[in-house]
Homo-oligomer: A and B are copies of this chain.
Amino acid sequence: MGSKLAEFAALMQLTRAADYAVRVMIHLASQEPGKRTSVPEIARAVEVPENFLSKVLQTLSRRGLIQSHRGVTGGFELSAGGRTVSMLEVLEALEGPIALNVCVGECGACRRKSRCPAHKVWVEAQEALAGVLRRASIADLARQAA
Q: A residues near B, CB below 8 A? A: 1, 4-15, 17-19, 22-23, 26, 47, 55-56, 59, 87, 91-92, 94-102, 105-106, 111-112, 115-118, 121, 124-125, 128-129, 131-133, 136, 141-142, 144-145
In the bound complex, CA of A118 to CA of B142 (Å)? 9
Query: A102 near B4 (CB under 8 angstroms)?
Result: no
Count of this chain's copies in the oligomeric assembly: 2
In the bound complex, CA of A23 to CA of B112 (Å)? 10
Interchain nearest-CB distance for A45 vs B (Å): 10
Interchain nearest-CB distance for A24 vs B (Å): 11
In the bound complex, CA of A112 to CA of B22 (Å)? 13
Query: A117 near B12 (CB under 8 angstroms)?
Result: no
Interchain nearest-CB distance for A103 vs B (Å): 8
Report B-chain residues with C-beta under 8 Å of the C-beta of A7. Answer: 96
In the bound complex, CA of A94 to CA of B101 (Å)? 15
Query: Mind listing 10 A-B residue pairs with CB under 8 Å?
Result: A5-B59, A5-B96, A8-B96, A10-B106, A14-B100, A19-B102, A23-B118, A47-B111, A125-B132, A125-B133
